[in-house]
Structure 1
Amino acid sequence: MGDKAVNFILRVRRLSIFRIFQRTLLMLMPIAIVGSYFQIMQDVVFSPDSFIYNILNFDETMSDHIWYAGAFISKGFVRVTFGLFGLYAAYFAARYTARLYKRDSTLAGMTAVIVVMFCAYANNVGNSAGDRSPFSSSILKVNALLLALLIGYGVGQIFHWLGKEHHSVTYEHARHIQQRAWNALLPLAVSVLCGMILGIVIYELQIKILNSDTFKTLVAQIQGSNNLWEILPLLLLVMMLSWIGIGYPLSSLTNAATSTAATANLNYALKHGSAWNVPYKFLGSSLVYPYGAMGGATIILALIVIILLVRKNKQNENVAKANLLPAVFNANWGFMVGMPIILNPVLFLPFVIIPLINVVIAAAAIYCHLIPPCVYPVLKGTPGILIAFFGSNGNWINLIFSICLFILDVVLFIPITLWGQKIEKRLREYEQKAN
C-alpha cells in the first residue's frame, strides 16, 4: 500500500502542470519571503489594533513620523509583493511552460501578463468599481494564486501548440529578434483572444472571482455555527481551498465574530467574569481560529519545527529559518510558496486533516470541562500558540493545552516528513535516469 501511494504521488509530481507550478512557486519564494516580513511589520507593528503595537505601547513611545513612515513603507511593499503576486505567478508559469516545450518563454510570459491584467480589469469593472485601478484587483493578490497559475499555464500551452521552436542564444541580431516576434504573433493573438473571452465572461456575469466577498458566507457559516458536524466539513473545504492556492477563506477566519451567538458568549463572559458556562460552547469562532488553525500558523510552524529538527535538506532548512519569524506572527505565505506547500500532493493530507483533529480534540476538552471556550477577541498578529490564552482572558490552562496541541501536530507531521523524503529520493533518481 505504501509503495502504491508513493508511485501515485510520483506520477502526479511528473505531470507537466505540477512541475510548472512547483518551479514557478520556487522562483517566487524570495518575493513571498520579503512580502511576509513587510506583512508582519504592517499587521503586527504599524497597526493600532495589533499585538506588538499594544504590548509595547507604541501609541505613546513611537513618534508620529516613524509610525507614518513605517506604515507607508510596509503597506506599500505588501501591495507590490502580495498585491501583485498573481502578475508574477502568471508570468513565470507561462515562461516555464513555454520553456518546457522549447518555445519563446519571454514572450509567453509577457502575454500571460497581458491576459491576467485584462481579467483583473474586467473583474474590477464587473464589480461596479470601474474607476478603480486593475492593480487593486483581487485576482492579482496572493490569495488568488491558483487562477494566475492556471492563466500562465494556459498561455504557455497555447505557445506550445501554436508557437515555433525557439532556442536562446547569447547575442541576438535585430533580424533574429524581428523573426522571433513574428513567430510569437499567432500564439500571442490566440492567448489574447482567450483572455478577452474570459474577461467578458467575468464582466457580463458580474462574477467576483476569488474575491474575499465570495467566501464571506462560508466564513460566516463556520464562525457562527455551534454544530461541530457542520464546522468540520466546512473547515475541510477551507483547508483544501488554501492548499490549492485560494487563501481568502483561511485568511478571513478570526475569533472576533460578529454573530449573535458570539455576542451572547462575550456578554455572558463579561457579566459573569468567566467563559466556562457560555451558552454556545462549540462555536466555530471559538474552535477553528484558536485551535484548528492557531491563526493560520499551526501547520506551518509544525513543519518548520520538523525541518529544523531533522536537518536532512539544507535548502528546506534555509527556507524554514527564513520564514520562522513571519510564521510565528501568522504571516505564512513565504513558507507556503517557498516549501512549497501549495499544490504539494505529499502535504495534502496533513494540511487538511490536522486542523480538523485539533478542532475535535479542543471540542472534546471543552465538553469535558478541561478548558474554557475562547470568547474574547484577540489582537491582530497575536502568535498562534497564544491566541487561545488571550482568547480565554489569560487562562493558563488554555495556554498549556495549546502547547500540547502544537506538540501533537509536530508528532503527526513526523511520518509525513519521512514519507516525503522517500518520495523526493525516488523523484531525484527518476530525473537522473531521464537525463
Structure 2
Amino acid sequence: MGKFTVFLEKKVSSPMARLAEQRHLLAIRDGVISSLPFIIVGSFFLLIASPPLPEAWAITQWATEHAAEILIPYRMTMFIMSLYVAFGIGYNLAKSYKVDPLSGAQIAVASLLLTITPTVIEELGFVLPMQYLGGSGLFVTIIVSIISVEIFRICKQKEITIKLPEAVPASVSRSFEALIPVAIVIVLMTIITVVMGINLHVVIEKLVAPIITAGDSLLGVLVPVFLITFFWSFGIHGVSVVGSVARPVWEVYLLNNAEAASAGASSLPHVAPEPLYQWFIWVGGSGATLGLVIVMLIFSRSKYLKNLGRTVSIPSLFNINEPVMFGLPIVLNPILIIPFIVTPLVLTIVSYLATSLGLVSPTFIKAPWTLPAPIGAYLATGGDWRSIILVLINIAISVVIYFPFFKIYDKKMHALEQGEDTIS
C-alpha cells in the first residue's frame, strides 16, 4: 500500500499540480471567480421577481407586475457576465506576466466589445446587442482576452511601445506604453468583425455546440465529478483545475436557465449548471464529505477521529472541507479515496435523474457557496421544497457509502492509539 501511495504521489500528483498552475488556466479561473459577486447578487433578483410564494399573495402579484423593473440589476450584472469576466481574465493574465494589469484588463474588454456589431434603432441611435455579453459569449471572451493580453505582452517584451521620460507621471507613462498594443488589438478585431464581417460568437457557438450538448448529459456531469475528486485525492484543488475548463460551459447553462426563468418559461433548458454540483453533489464540499463527518461523529472509536469530527463539523456544514481533506486525511489515503470518488458519482446519478425527470426543478440561481446545502438548494431552484428532500437523501446515501470504509480506517487508527503493531 505504501509503494502504491508513493507511486501516486510521484507519477500522478506532480504532473497534475503543474497543470493546476498553468498560467492561462489560472487567469481563466480567477477571471470567472472575480465576477461571482455580480453573478450571485444579480441572480437573486430573479428570485425577487419570481418569489417562491403562493400566487394569491400580494407580494407575489406585486413582483409579477414589476418584474421588468426588478430584473434591471440582473440585466446589468449576471446577464452581461462576460464583460466582467473579460476584465478579470485580462487583469489576472497581465498580472502574471508582470505587465500593467489594468491595461491588460481594459484591452481584453475592448477586444470583447469589438466582436459585437452595434445596430441602429430609430430614436435610440447605435445600440449594442447584449446577448453576446452573457454566458453565451464566454468562450469568445476567453479567447479574445487571452489573445489581446498576449499581444500586449509581446509588444512590451519586444519594446514595441512608446516610452516617455522618467519625469512623466507613472499613470501617463503606462497609458502611452499601452497605446501601440491597443491599436494593434483594435485594428485586428475591426478587420475580423467589420471588414471581414465575421461574427466570432456564431462561429465559436457552432464549434462548441457538441461540448454544450455533451456537458448537459449524464456522462457530461459524471466526467468532471470524477476528475475533480481524482485530482483532490492527490491534494490538488480539483475544482480549480476542472472548473477552469468546465465553468464557462456551466455558466452558459446557468444563464440560459436564468433567462428562461425570467421569461416565465414552464421548463428550463439545462439540467447541469454549476449549482447542481454545488448543492446536490458536493454536499459538505468536494467528495460529499458531510456524510463522512456524520459517520465520524457517530461511529468513531479512535479518539483522534472523534475529536476531529467535532472540530470539522461546523465548517463542513458550510461546505468548507479542507480540514477533513488534510486532517483525516483523505488526500493520498488509499482507504478513503475509494468512497471519496464513488460517493459523488452515485449522487450525480441520483441528482441528475431526479432533475431530468422533473422530480426537482433545475437550478438557475447562484446562491453563496457557504450556505448549508438544503438552504442553498432551495434558493438555487427558485424555492422548490423538493430540493431539500433530495439533499437529505443524498446525505443519507453518502453516509451509507462512507461507513464501511471509515470503519476500516477507524480500526487502524484505534489500533495505533492502543499501541498495537500489527495494524497493516
Q: Which TM-score band (shorter chain)?
A: 0.5 to 0.7
Deviations 1:210-230 (A, max 9, x none): 6699859965x999xxxxxxx
Residue identity in the other structure for 2:8: G
How far the C-alpha of 1:162 sits from its partner, in A, is 0.7
Distance 1:401 1:182, change over 3 A: closer
Instruction: Decide whether the 8 Å contact of 1:97 with 1:156 is kept in 2.
Output: yes
One-letter amino acid of the structure 2 residue matched with residue 107 of structure 1: S
Equivalent positions of 1:253-268 (< 5 A) are none
**Equivalent position of 2:202 in the other structure:** 208
Q: Which amino acid aligns with 2:187?
A: L
> How much does 1:197 deviate?
4.5
Distance across 2 between alignment mates of 1:413 and 1:149: 39
- Taking a change above 3 Å as real, the CA distance of residues 35 and 409 of structure 1, as seen in their structure-2 partners, is farther
Gaps of 5+ in 1: 126-130, 166-171, 224-230, 257-284, 322-349, 388-392, 415-435
1:196 to 2:190 alignment: yes
Counterpart CA distance in 2 for 1:6 and 1:108 is 33
Residue of structure 1 aligned with 2:394, choices 384, 402, 405: 405
AA matched with 1:116: L
Question: Structure 2: how far apart are the matches of 1:399 and 1:205?
Answer: 43
Amino acid at match of 1:134: L
Determine which of 296, 299, 303 is the counterpart of 2:285: 303
Matched, 1:2 2:8: yes
Distance 1:351 1:152 in 2: 36
TM-score (norm 2): 0.53
Distance 1:135 1:253, change over 3 A: closer
Matched positions, count: 313
Distance 1:70 1:399 in 2: 27
Query: 1:113 deviation in Å?
Result: 1.3
Structure 1 counterpart of 2:72, from 72, 76, 79: 76
Decide whether the 8 Å contact of 1:232 with 1:356 is kept in 2.
no
Aligned residue in 1 for 2:419:
none
Contact 1:96/1:105 (8 A) holds in 2: yes
1:86 & 1:108 partners in 2: Cα distance?
Answer: 16
1:62: how far off?
1.6
Aligned to 1:161: 154
Equivalent pair of 1:20/1:93 in contact (CA under 8 Å):
yes
| CA-CA distance at 1:22 after TM superposition | 3.7
1:243 aligns with 2:246: yes
CA contact (8 A) 1:236 1:352 kept: no
TM-score (norm 1): 0.51
Partner of 1:57: 54
Contact 2:42 2:77 in 1 (8 A): no
Amino acid at match of 1:298: F
Q: 1:100 to 1:76 in 2, by over 3 A?
A: same
Contact 2:284 2:318 survives alignment (8 Å):
no
Give, as a single letter, the amino acid of the residue that structure 2 aligns with 1:155.
Answer: S
Aligned 8 A contact 1:302 1:409 in 2: no
1:186 corresponds to which residue? Answer: 180
The 3-state SS of whatever aligns with 2:57 is helix
Q: 1:409 to 1:62 in 2, by over 3 A?
A: same
Question: For the residues of structure 1 that align with 2:107 and 2:21, how far apart are their CA atoms?
Answer: 26
| Alpha carbons 1:35, 1:81 under 8 Å: kept | yes
Are the aligned partners of 1:84 and 1:142 in contact in 2 as well (CA < 8 Å)? yes
For residues 1-20 of structure 1, the aligned pairs below 5 Å read 1-3=7-9, 4-20=11-27
Distance 1:157 1:378, change over 3 A: closer
Retained in 1: the 8 A contact 2:103–2:178? yes
CA displacement, residues 146-201 of structure 1 (integer Å, 9 cap, x when unaligned)? 43233323222212111268xxxxxx965655443332222222222333345359
Identity, % of aligned pairs? 15
Structure 1 residues 77 and 252: CA distance shift in structure 2, 3 A: closer
Q: Highest CA radius of gyration, 1 or 2?
A: 2
Q: Does structure 1 residue 32 correspond to structure 2 residue 36?
A: yes
Q: Partners in 2 of 1:198 and 1:77 — Cα distance?
A: 32
Superposed CA RMSD: 5.8
Could you say what secondary structure the match of 2:12 adopts? helix
Counterpart check, 1:150 vs 2:150:
no
